[in-house]
């Protein structure tokens, strides 16, 4: 908030559990009433815990689905009346886990795959008034991921990424800003992968790069 205000913008915060539909409605209504409408919605709630698929309990599966899918659905449904009336753009934050196999993250991958399909479906249902797109980051260096990996792990991962570095939050934010802006006025129903080329590394490793 402070950074937005220092840049000359207006901001406010509205805390609560995004998995609660009533909280989502209150947040959307508060923003819409305060700023005169809702032009952009970014669904960036998520979470998971590593587990072999056979060890995921029904409660664990439900928890991951609620965090990653239900939270987005709550905000999409809350924002729909305002956005369909005036137009706008939605950006859902998924993951490469929803596109490619992710061992020890079957629940998370399934949830993000659901979010990607939801993006594609709403892009058709909400056109032409609202554009709906998705971003799918790979490993991004955040406070949370810093706790999961050692410095040696990060160096090893960086070597596997064609662009030779782990992504940053700004790498994701820049693509989200593009999709939310008029520069992407003819883009909808798309999932933009933000991975430094990681999904191509199989071919990268086996094809000659120099002659």
Catalytic residue flag (residue 108)? yes
Instruction: Give the DSSP letter string of 108-176.
Output: HHHHHHHHHHHHHHHHHHSTTTEEEEEEEE-SB--HHHHHHS-HHHHHHHHHHSTTSS-B-HHHHHHHH
Distance of CA 18 to the CA centre of its chain: 14
What one-character DSSP code corresponds to residue 67? I
Question: Among 31, 76, 105, 108, which one carries the catalytic annotation?
Answer: 108
What one-character DSSP code corresponds to residue 62? H
In the sheet that 88-93 helps form, which strands lie side by side, from edge to edge? 40-43, 88-93, 130-137, 191-194
Could you give the CA distance from residue 103 to residue 55 in angstroms, rounded to a whole number? 12
Catalytic residues: 108
């Amino acid at each position: 908030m402070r950074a937005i205000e220092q840049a000359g913008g207006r901001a406010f915060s509205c805390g609560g559990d995004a998995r609660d539909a009533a909280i989502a409605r209150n947040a959307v209504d508060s923003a819409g009433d305060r700023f005169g409408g809702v032009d952009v919605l970014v669904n960036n709630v998520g979470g998971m815990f590593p587990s072999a698929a056979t060890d995921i309990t029904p409660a664990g599966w439900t928890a991951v689905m609620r965090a990653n899918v239900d939270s987005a659905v709550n905000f999409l449904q809350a924002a729909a009346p305002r956005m369909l009336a005036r137009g706008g753009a939605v950006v859902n934050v998924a993951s490469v886990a929803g596109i490619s196999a992710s061992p020890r993250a079957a629940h998370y991958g399934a949830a993000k795959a659901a979010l990607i399909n939801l993006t594609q479906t709403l892009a058709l249902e909400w056109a032409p008034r609202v554009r709906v797109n998705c971003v799918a980051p790979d490993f991004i260096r955040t406070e949370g991921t810093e706790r999961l990996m050692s410095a040696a792990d990060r160096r090893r991962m960086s070597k596997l990424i064609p662009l030779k570095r782990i992504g940053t939050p700004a790498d994701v934010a820049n693509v989200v800003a593009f999709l939310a802006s008029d520069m992407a006025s003819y883009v909808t129903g798309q999932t933009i992968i933000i991975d430094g080329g990681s999904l191509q590394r199989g071919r990268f490793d086996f094809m000659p790069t120099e002659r």
